[in-house]
Structure 1
Amino acid sequence: MSLYQLDEERQAAVQKIRKRVIENIGRNMDLYGIPLSTGHLYGLLYFADKPMNLDEMGQEMKMSKTSMSTGVRTLLDHKMVNKVWEKGSRKDLYEVEYDWYQTFVDFFDIKWRKSVESNILVLRKALQETEKLLKEYEDDPVMVAVLEADRTKMREAVAYYRWLERLIDAFVDGDIFKYVPKEPPEGGS
């Protein structure tokens, strides 16, 4: 059933509720590093009765096709929307990823894995350089003490990032849901 099958009064009542949810989604998208307008776009697509093209989105949101394109690209990059194919349509169509658990997992994987890999790489290189300096200054007890303290801190950091890699893997593999199960929808549907 489509919203547009309702009379104007009922459409307005539903739109009022949707608007409140869309506004809140938009405000909270900053957690993902997503601008407010793109968050509103996500909310629009979330409540859409069917996949939408850029023109339809722009019309609904009263924004330019360029702005819609930029927003959709951001949402695609975060795997929050999917491009879909529809027989007879020449325009690209988009719909949200309705599985918010998967959206969070994808975001967590995309953002955190890159950061973790970068940090481990830098720390391992720094540890190699520290080992070289330890050999070079082995006769300087103060330098050795400073380098050993730094080496300990960097090894602890590498251990943390390896743990974080395992945590990311637990999200991606779905193992996290064994320990923190998904919630059933309230109200039964």
Structure 2
Amino acid sequence: MEKNYEQIIKKARERVIDSIARNIDLYGITMSIGHLYGTLLFQDKPMSLDEMGEALGMSKTSMSTGVRTLLDLNMVNKVWMKGTRKDYYEVEQDWYQNFIDYFSIKWRKGVDDNVQALRKSVRELEELAAQEDLPEEIRLNVERDIEKINNALLYYNWLGRLIDTFESHKIFEFVPKEPGAH
């Protein structure tokens, strides 16, 4: 019985692409963009928006939106192709860097937003606590809230250092990349 090698390869690729698409929501990405990413992953050459649309049966507009999302997350790269004015894209092959880029961007934004809100709240509560006519029960509540918020600020300081560890790649001193990974 002769094996159909192309069919086996196609089935294996489709399984991986589908798995990526189903699980890429961890990155806040839709299944259709996950399918796009998976499709690009198995290409041996960069693809244009037209080629992507044809491969996935989707519109060029959908492909453009998907590629923009993947570019913003540093998961794909725009590449120059000699002799054409079209834009071409390929997957960033370093999955470790993909993880670092994506989560560092998201975590840093979350940290910055939360720290800003916490600091503003501490300032307002400290102003309230400084009022001389503040009832003692209210003052105690305010002081407890300030303590809770300051504890949260310590956590966000730690999270910022963790993000720095990822961005500087020092994380790999603690959790090395798998041998042979690139």
Q: Is contact 1:138-1:144 (8 Å) kept?
A: no
Give distance in 2, aligned partners of 1:36 and 1:142: 52
User: Could you tell me which residue of structure 1 aligns to residue 88 of structure 2?
Assistant: 93
User: Does the residue aligned with 1:182 lie in a helix, a strand or coil?
Assistant: coil
Structure 2 unaligned residues grouped into runs of 5+: none
Match of 1:38 in 2: 33
- Given candidates 2, 5, 10, the residue that maps to 1:15 is 10
Displacement after TM superposition at 1:184 (Å): 2.2
Alpha-carbon contact 1:116-1:164 (below 8 Å) kept: yes
Percent of pairs identical after alignment? 56
Q: In the alignment, residue 127 of structure 1 is paired with which amino acid?
A: V
The structural deviation recorded for 1:137 is 4.6
What SS does structure 1 have at the residue aligned with 2:89?
strand
Cα-to-partner distance string for 1:67-119 (whole Å, 9 max, x where unaligned): 11111111111111010111112100000111000000000111110010011
Measured at CA, do residues 104 and 159 of structure 1 come closer, stay the same or move farther in structure 2, by a change above 3 Å? same
- Name the structure 1 match of 2:100: 105
Query: Are 1:26 and 1:39, in contact at CA under 8 Å, matched by a contact in 2?
Result: yes
Report the aligned-residue RMSD: 1.6
Corresponding residue of 1:62: 57
Match of 1:140 among 135, 155, 177: 135
Output the TM-score relative to the length of structure 2.
0.95
The aligned amino acid for 2:15 is R
2:117 maps to amino acid: V
8 Å contact kept, 1:137–1:144? no
Take 1:121 and 1:138, find their aligned partners in 2: how far apart are those partners?
A: 28
Stretches of 4+ moved more than 6 A in 1? none
Shift of 1:135: 0.8
